[in-house]
Amino acid sequence: MDIKELFNSHKDRIITGLGLILGVVVILAINNFYLMWLVLGIVYIIGIYEANNLFSIDDKNLLFIGAVVWGSLIFVKHLELVAFLPVLVMASYYAYKYQDMKNIFPFLYPTISMILFLALYKDFGVFAIVWLIVVVAFTDTLAYFSGKYFGKTKFSPTSPNKTLEGVAGGVLAGTIFGSIAGLYFNGFLFALVISFFVSVFSVFGDLFESYLKRKSNLKDSGNILPGHGGILDRLDGYLFGVVILYIALKMV
């Protein structure tokens, strides 16, 4: 298959991917908290909508609640301290009303991770976001190619297409390139260890979303991104990786 055929067969995916990369570069270059809050907020609300589908929830009120939660964050100084608060409030409410507790699931995933995403930017700056992107992007990309050319051993029944060789190649790449990006924050050994754990957890973030999709009989979390599926399909690795990176940087 030549380059033209490759492009035509993956046209939507390539164009969307390039658009996403350009958008991320522009946002990071502007490096403004209010812009980041706004963009992540839009992504979060779409993520809440997709999470409703993944958890088989039919309650559009959760979108409004999610918007209120995100809107309130702009007034919060220590974002990490309130990451679990929406879960506690919703759990208390549903316990009081004696209603199905599955409606709190979107306030576990993706709410906690998205709040920590904003907290990572606020507390550690744009280079922390760059570090996270480098680790997860290289893990995801090299896992695909390693699995395609060297994959033989199945990794998990949750995602039959994943192979142990692919995961190993992805984690190796994410760790190596992440170690370079992480030098901005600390020494090489620190960057190496943290990049490794962020990479590993990003793999399981992808696996977790695959689990949710298989349980709900969905191919993708949504269809807002042509050729890529939904927002959560693109963020799955980041939603686990960001938790590890934020905790690690807080511990230094």
Highest-scoring range by mean pLDDT, 18-22, 94-98, 175-179: 175-179
User: Residue 4 — very low, low, confident or very high, per pLDDT cuts 50/70/90?
Assistant: low
What residues contact residue 179 under an 8 Å CB cut-off, 6+ apart? 188, 191, 192, 195
How far apart are the C-alpha atoms of 142 and 209, rounded to whole Å? 19
pLDDT mean over 174-190: 94
Instruction: Give yes or no for residue 73 having a pLDDT over 80.
Output: yes
User: 219 is written with which tokens?
Assistant: 């191919």
Give yes or no for residue 12 having a pLDDT over 80. no
Count the neighbouring beta carbons within 10 Å of the beta carbon of residue 184.
13
Segment 24-47, tens digit of pLDDT: 999 999 999 999 999 999 999 999
**DSSP-derived 3-state class of residue 159:** strand
**To the nearest whole number, what is the mean pLDDT of the chain?**
93
| % of the chain with per-residue pLDDT over 90 | 84
User: Does 9 have pLDDT greater than 80?
Assistant: no
**In the chain, how many domains are there?**
1
pLDDT tens per residue across span 207-233: 999 999 999 999 999 999 888 889 999
Whether the per-residue pLDDT at 6 is higher than 90: the answer is: no
Q: Compute the average pLDDT of residues 8-36.
A: 88
DSSP-derived secondary structure for 39-88:
HHHHHHHHHHHHHHHHTT---THHHHHHHHHHHHHTT-S-GGGGTTHHHH
Host domain of residue 69: 3-251
Higher pLDDT, 70 or 226: 70
pLDDT value for 132: 98
pLDDT, tens digit, for every residue of 96-131? 989 889 999 999 999 999 999 999 999 999 999 999
Q: What is the rounded average pLDDT of the residues 169-197?
A: 95
